[in-house]
Amino acid sequence: MLKCRTVWKKLAPLARTSSTLCRQNVRKAGLNNGRIPTHVPTAHMSSGLPGGGGDNLKYALLVGAASIAGVAYAYLTMKGDQQRYQARITELSSRSQKAAAKESVTPIQPEPPAVETTETEATTEPKPETAPSSQEPSPPASDTEAVATSETTELPPAVGITPASLKLPSHAPYLLIGGGTASFAAARSIRARDPGAKVLIVTDEPDLPYMRPPLSKELWFSDDPSVTETLRFKQWNGKERSIYFQPPSFYINPEELDSVENGGVAVLTGKKVIHMDVRGNKVKLDDDTEISYDKCLIATGGVPRNLQVIERAGEEVMMRTTLFRKIEDFRSLDKVSRDVKSITIIGGGFLGSELACALGRRSTESDLEVIQMFPEKGNMGKVLPEYLSNWTTEKVKKEGVKVISEALVKSVTCNDDKLEIHLKDGRLVKTDHIVTAVGLEPNVDLAKSGGLEVDSDFGGYRVNAELQARSNIWVAGDAACFYDIRLGRRRVEHHDHAVVSGRLAGENMTGANKPYWHQSMFWSDLGPDVGYEAIGIVDSSLPTVGVFAKATAKDTPKAATEESGTGIRSESETEDTATSAVASVTPAPVVENKDDYGKGVIFYLRDKVVVGIILWNVFNRMPVARKIIKDGEEHADLNEVAKLFNIHED
């Protein structure tokens, strides 16, 4: 049918031309007849038509020639089309064979469509992946498991900003703003539920998505002098991996997003979204490029806070101050620590204490002086009860750190090539470099242009239980202020929460409509020998009950990762909530030194109900803690509850 239509299109002009010639000849004959004299000769018999036999013969010859030419032309056209069709089929067959041969020589890591739900969970070692569940979102157990295998064989992603000449896609069905853990988890979740999805991640960083915890933990303990370039490290269990979730071969080029048949994940690096048009479903980048979307996720994280006294101190002081957050901050501080003689860390929380221990251990190999100062009485003073905070401070001091507690900074000046930190109580601290680790400010720059609500108490974009801010806009990670059905409205700044919330947002962007029910955990290591994991609301201002036992050689982060085979502990600690817990029957031993908090469980209470739990050098028990908080019951004797964690077993 298609061939007949094509032939007719080509023969139609010939037919029209023949018809036109006939009409013209008829008119000519009429004019000639008009010139015939009025005297008409006597009629005579003739076998031809009126108008003359010569003209009739011409018409017959013309029509016959046109018909013969049309038939010949149709035959040649059909034969040529058949030859071209056969050549096209041969070309396509050879092209597919070449592509298959190329893939067999240089295999690219495939992206399994039905497996990606579990890949949104932070892991380090490959495990069998499962299809996404249609039930409630199970906590992440393998977000980066599939990464480890490929990471051990491929070079780290090349760092660089997307070229300005790159043809950017004008539309992305799924647009993810921010290139951190939450965005990556969402992308994998979207692809798990919609294997053909086209996902575009836009990040103002020059790097592909990576995990942040190793920047203040394992990377500092690497023996590799080129660690700042490779960004590979050995976990406490001795296994090596990269901080990148996936190698470059996992992603597609942004310019190919529109044309790729089976979809994929593209990352647009070095670009910042500066404006949101919610009604028009589009965003504007800092280079005035506009990208429209169907569904959008905001996972912009946050920016490190700084002290106002440092910001007012002038450019020279600011140039010698590090706000630690990104890969470039790790590289910069690593170089500084090798070039200067003194570094002062301001802040006694998770990040400040981790960096203090990391740099303190490095100081034992050089003459570097490491100072840590904070306004609390001890390390982690806002989280740990006072007795445990003091014990932790002594541990930090043994790592080679000079700790200055109850320190409030009044001003910072630069004199004689030294930074002078003046405290409000009159003390003076001289140093070469400052690292401020005083918290994170959620990035809500798009709230005004997007008409999005910002929570006045906790900060961040206010979202519902499905992490939705508007009809087609979701928020995940540090920037999301969500409603916890057990603990109320919260905003959490930890890796595990970024994994779980990003995964859930991705599921809901593809129509899952699931509420956020998971209690995310967080962890911190003060070196390979002291570590803790926490869940819920852990605030030192709440009443606490601590139950401790004598530690053994296996009660360390290093031993725990060796046993579980994972390095990022949320990979193994965020599996399903424990359905039942069996208390240990081993009697509690008598602790000879009550000031030696080797391992234990700290319960945080609100209205006699446990709302937070810290597992101190106790590992692989987080599902039990999650169940206790989920149940929300009052407990008459928390010593009995502590037995559920088997802390008295050797």
Taking only the tens place, the pLDDT of each residue in 6-22 is: 545 555 555 555 555 54
* Per-residue pLDDT, 148: 38
**Closest Cα partner for 235 from 560, 648, 617?**
560
What does the pLDDT read at residue 25? 53
SS3 40: coil
The answer on pLDDT for 538 being more than 50 is: yes
Distance CA 603, CA 606 (A): 10
What is the average pLDDT across 468-497? 93
Residue with the bigger pLDDT between 21 and 290: it is 290
Alpha-carbon distance values, 510 to 140, 148, 528 (Å): 18, 27, 41
47 — pLDDT class (breaks 50, 70, 90): very low
Query: Measured on CA atoms in the order 380, 384, 390, 394, is the torsion positive or negative?
Result: negative
Pinpoint the residues of the chain covered by CATH 3.50.50.60.
171-209+245-301+443-510, 305-439
- Nearest by Cα to 434 from 301, 303, 309, 302: 309
Q: Is the pLDDT of residue 452 over 80?
A: yes
Residue 50's CB is within 10 A of a number of other CB atoms, namely: 8
pLDDT above 60 for 645: yes
Task: Please name the residues in contact with 456: beta carbons below 8 A apart, sequence gap of 6 or more.
Answer: none
Compare 631 and 102 and report the one with higher pLDDT: 631
Single-letter residue type at 637? D
Q: Which residue has the higher pLDDT, 201 or 524?
A: 201
pLDDT of residue 486: 82
d(CA 209, CA 250): 11
Q: How confident is the model at residue 151 (pLDDT cuts 50, 70, 90)?
A: very low
477: pLDDT strictly greater than 50: yes
CA-based diameter of the chain, in Å?
150
pLDDT of residue 528: 66
Q: How does pLDDT run across 216-261, given as a tens digit for each residue?
A: 988 998 889 999 999 998 876 678 899 999 999 999 999 999 999 9
* 369 three-class SS: strand
Span 171-209+245-301+443-510: which CATH code?
Answer: 3.50.50.60
In terms of average pLDDT, the best of 75-84, 123-132, 230-239, 317-326 is 317-326
Each residue of 584-600: pLDDT tens digit? 443 444 444 456 788 89
Q: What is the CATH number of domain 305-439?
A: 3.50.50.60
CA dist 616 and 598 (Å) reads 8
Supply the Cα-derived Rg of the chain in whole angstroms: 37
pLDDT tens profile 51-106:
455 666 766 777 777 778 777 766 776 676 666 656 655 655 554 454 444 444 34
Q: Minimal CA–CA distance to 544: which of 642, 621, 406, 648?
A: 642
Confidence label for 527 from pLDDT (cuts 50, 70 and 90):
low
Instruction: Provide the token pair at 481.
Output: 């202020």
How many C-beta atoms lie closer than 10 Å to residue 135's C-beta? 7
Please check whether residue 379 is in contact with residue 369, taking contact to mean a CB–CB distance below 8 angstroms. no
Instruction: Say if residues 125 and 239 touch (Cβ distance below 8 Å).
Output: yes
DSSP bridge pairs for 481: 462
User: Which pLDDT score is estimated for 54?
Assistant: 61
Mean pLDDT (the chain) is 79
β partners of residue 174: 199, 295
- Interstrand relation of 342-346 and 433-436 (parallel, antiparallel or unpaired): parallel
Quick: pLDDT tens for 385-436: 999 999 899 989 998 999 999 999 999 999 999 999 999 999 999 999 999 9
Residues sharing a CB contact under 8 Å with residue 615, sequence separation 6 or more, in sequence order:
532, 533, 534, 601, 621, 622, 625, 645
Residues 6+ apart with CB under 8 A from 345: 352, 355, 356, 359, 370, 371, 372, 373, 434, 435, 437
The alpha carbon of 109 is separated from its chain's Cα centroid by a whole number of angstroms, namely 18
Q: Is the pLDDT of residue 490 over 70?
A: yes
Q: What is the pLDDT of residue 53?
A: 55
Name the β-bridge partners of 199.
174, 265
Q: H-helix or E-strand containing 28?
A: helix 2-34
**Residue length, the chain?**
650
- pLDDT > 90: percent of the chain: 56
Residues 6+ apart with CB under 8 A from 85: none
pLDDT value at residue 18 = 54
pLDDT of residue 519: 84
Beta strands in 90-182, from DSSP E residues, in sequence order: 171-177
Strand blocks (E) in 320-394: 321-323, 342-346, 369-373
**Does the predicted TM-score (pTM) go above 0.85?**
no
Is the pLDDT at 137 greater than 50? The verdict is no
More confident residue, 291 or 583: 291
Question: Is 535:625 a contact under the CB 8 Å cutoff?
Answer: yes
| Percent of the chain's residues with pLDDT above 70 | 69
Architecture of domain 521-645: 2-Layer Sandwich (3.30)
Looking at the chain, the domain(s) classified CATH 3.30.390.30 span: 521-645
543-584 pLDDT tens trace:
999 999 887 766 666 666 556 555 554 443 444 444 444 444
Provide the pLDDT for residue 87. 63
Write the DSSP symbol of residue 633: -
Contact, 251 vs 265, CB < 8 A? yes
Look at residue 550 in the predicted model and tell me its pLDDT. 84
DSSP string, 469-526: EETTEEE-GGGEEEEETTTEEE---SHHHHHHHHHHHHHHHTT---------EEEEES
**Residue 277 clears pLDDT 90, i.e. is over it:** yes
